[in-house]
Structure 1
Amino acid sequence: MTAQPLLDLERLPDGALAEVEAVLDGDAESLLLLRDGDAVRAWLNICPHAGRRLDWAPGQFLRSKDGLLVCAAHGASFELEKGECVAGPCRGDALRPVAVEVRDGAVWLVGG
């Protein structure tokens, strides 16, 4: 299994969301990345409510005035500390985390 670089860290401003493609367990998947200072969190770009992508257009995500990620399909709202759904049709569920790390100026998929 080879490590996969996903994105140069400098291309993701602090607090910003980005969508990248990665191969997980042999399948191409869309990932959602969030930069938090020098760290990056990642989840599958899939709403647990109906299995649809969270972005309204590739790489374009809706954020509430409170900073929540809002699913473009049915309005589920997710806090971005742990990816938990705090409002909408999948309240109490959560986004599926994906292990990433920052090294050598890039975001890398851990495992794959």
Structure 2
Amino acid sequence: MKFLCTGADLLEATSRGFEIDGNKLFAVRRAGQAYVYLNRCPHRGVGLEWQPDQFLDPSNSLIQCATHGALFLIEDGECVAGPCAGQSLTAIDCREDAQGLWVDV
């Protein structure tokens, strides 16, 4: 497991991008739970963010791909709207402890 960030670095209803060992990842916190995904849209293989650390739609309730507007559920990465509907983001195993978030990449 590799250290990603402290818990305080990922606030509720926010997202952040990271790069670990050449892997581009992003993390989202919702209802106190952290979710980590590979930063790669299943539609075109592009990064999802429209600005650094901006992976969420305007309501902060869905992950949104900046390129074609695909929308993904935060909880499991499933695409619910857009050109890759039915596909999913690649989830990264993560755990959180007193030090912060750890990922298995």
Whether the TM-score (by the shorter chain) exceeds 0.5 is yes
TM superposition outliers: structure 1 runs of 4+ over 6 Å? none
TM-score by length of 2: 0.89
The equivalent position to 1:35 in structure 2, one of 25, 29, 37, is 29
The answer to whether the Cα contact below 8 Å between 2:37 and 2:89 also exists between their aligned partners in 1 is: yes
Fraction of identical pairs, as percent: 34
Is 2:16 aligned against 1:18? yes
> Secondary structure of 1:52's match?
coil
Which residues in structure 2 correspond to 1:1-112 (within 5 Å)? Answer: 3-23=1-21, 28-65=22-59, 67-110=61-104, 112=105
Count of paired positions: 105
Q: Pick the structure with greater CA Rg.
A: 1
Distance change in 2, residues 1:94/1:19 (3 Å): same
TM-score by length of 1: 0.84
CA RMSD of aligned residues (A): 1.6
Unaligned runs of at least 5 residues, structure 1: none
The answer to whether the Cα contact below 8 Å between 2:41 and 2:47 also exists between their aligned partners in 1 is: yes
Unaligned runs of at least 5 residues, structure 2: none
Residues of 2 paired with 1:64 and 1:85: CA distance?
17
